[in-house]
Amino acid sequence: MFKTLANAWKLPDLRKKIIFTLCMLAVFQIGTVIPVPGLDGESLKQLLGVGSGEGGIFDLLNIISGGSLGNASIFALSITPYVTATIIIQLLAVAIPALERISREDGGREIIAKWTRYATVILAFIQSASLYVGLANAKLVVNNTPLSFFIVVISLTAGTAFLMWLGEQITEKGVGNGISIIIFAGIVANLPTTIRQFAALVTANGTVNIVTLLLIVVIALAIITFVVLINDAERRIPVNYAKRVVGRKMYGGQNSNIPFKVAMAGVIPIIFASSLLSFPQTMVQLFTGGNGNVTGFWGKVLSVLNYGSPVYAVLYFLLIIFFSFFYTAMIYNPIEMSNNIKRNGGFIPGIRPGRPTTDYITKVMNRVTTIGSVCIALIAIVPLLLARSNNITLSFSGTSLLILVGVAIETYRQIESQLLMRHYKGFLD
């Protein structure tokens, strides 16, 4: 790995991309400590319970935002409105045929991306206004005036819009997926706080709890090892190409394969599921003023969707599986793959071209996606369940570790592939 990074640093264009990415991440870290005018960080922590050690959903959002939520900075909403907007637009593209046709046309991706940006700003504005209303209901706003409302809401909305632009710039001019890189940077920036939580957890009355320490270390190592194995695992479908003569040249006659990675969607389902589950709980908590004794309908919603509850774990598990299938279906089209194989004179051994090939590719893809999605979902919820059963109340869960490892592997592979393109050696070498 270090050799690959050293080789990438030697290439001027890759070095520029790496430096650009690091500079954008530095800008992100600076923004995490810039406070919103008129918004008190301690009041926000009191409202949301951030840093209370209960390991709630807001602690997880605070980790993803790099501590911005606890600092009441301009990046307090993080990139979650963009992720939520992406989910909504993609679901609408599946449900509305006209929107699906637009996404498949030339320039359709740019149109969908533009609508996603608009939806992000709208969602960020709604969440910012809800945050201010929650602070006002809890009587934690010193100067509750229209001007204060305007400044807080615009500052938070602008911070999310800037983060969205920052992620797009990293994707275009840097290394890796910009949104994933920003979430990765936020989790890494919060590691010192997490380490202090670990130290406080395993230390009691000046003595170290060996059982708790070993449990945490074993779970972390098992997750890292399993994520690496899942990322490397793939199912290959063999494809044979018949020989054909075009003019005075002969084409085909070679064997190839179609690789299907077990974790095709990577950490995207984790991010989508976390954002979707956090949205309703955030709205309820804010509109009720952060009151822990909420009764009635909203009280039931809070208790059911409480971070770490059995219902939350089940919904989290099912949403990860759903978004794994959904994201895979957005990337791979079995009909198009079957037509490309047939057009190039290829065939899968034992499978007739046309519809049977499409059905076979769909069946293999569904099986692989099922295995991968279940594995990723188990990795995400098993540490959560173990932590609750052993009274370990750390906000740094298997989800954070999964995102860390997954994004690191994806970024490393992108650097490796770009390095391979620039150092490709022909068969004569």
Q: Is residue 138 situated within a structural domain? A: yes
Q: Is residue 153 situated within a structural domain? A: yes
- Higher per-residue confidence, 52 vs 131: 131
Whether the predicted pLDDT of 227 surpasses 80: no
Q: Is residue 385 situated within a structural domain? A: yes
- pTM reported for the whole predicted model: 0.74
Whether the predicted pLDDT of 292 surpasses 80: no
- pLDDT average, residue stretch 167-196: 84
Q: Which of 239, 178, 186 is nearest to 63 (CA)?
A: 186
pLDDT at 86: 85
Q: Is residue 404 situated within a structural domain? A: yes
CATH of the domain at 262: 1.10.3370.10
pLDDT at 218: 80
- pLDDT average, residue stretch 212-239: 79
pLDDT at 428: 40
Q: How confident is the model at residue 103 (pLDDT cuts 50, 70, 90)?
A: confident
C-alpha 173/C-alpha 424 separation (Å) is 22
Cα-Cα-Cα-Cα torsion 74, 79, 81, 85, nearest 10 degrees, comes to: 150
Q: Is residue 286 situated within a structural domain? A: yes
Give the model confidence (pLDDT) of 27-49 as tens digits: 998 988 888 887 777 777 776 66
C-alpha 186/C-alpha 28 separation (Å) is 9
Give the model confidence (pLDDT) of 43-94 as tens digits: 777 766 665 555 456 666 777 777 787 778 888 888 888 888 887 887 787 7
pLDDT at 162: 93
Buried b (16+ CB within 10 A) or exposed e, 397-418: bbbbbbbbbbbbbbbbeebeeb
Q: Which of 246, 254, 235 is nearest to 370 (CA)?
A: 235
From residue 271, how far is each of 211, 278, 407 by CA, in Å?
Answer: 31, 11, 11
Region at 354 (left for phi over 0; alpha for psi -120 to 50; beta for the rest): left
From residue 85, how far is each of 65, 115, 168 by CA, in Å?
Answer: 17, 9, 15
- pLDDT average, residue stretch 290-315: 67
- pLDDT average, residue stretch 359-364: 90
C-alpha 410/C-alpha 40 separation (Å) is 37
Q: Is residue 52 situated within a structural domain? A: yes
C-alpha 140/C-alpha 163 separation (Å) is 27
- Higher per-residue confidence, 284 vs 414: 414
Domain count, the chain: 1
The structure tokens listed for 213 are 């320490």
Average model confidence (pLDDT) for the chain?
77
Q: Which domain holds residue 399?
A: 2-422
Whether the predicted pLDDT of 288 surpasses 80: no
The structure tokens listed for 266 are 């990577």
Q: Is residue 85 situated within a structural domain? A: yes
Q: Is residue 429 situated within a structural domain? A: no
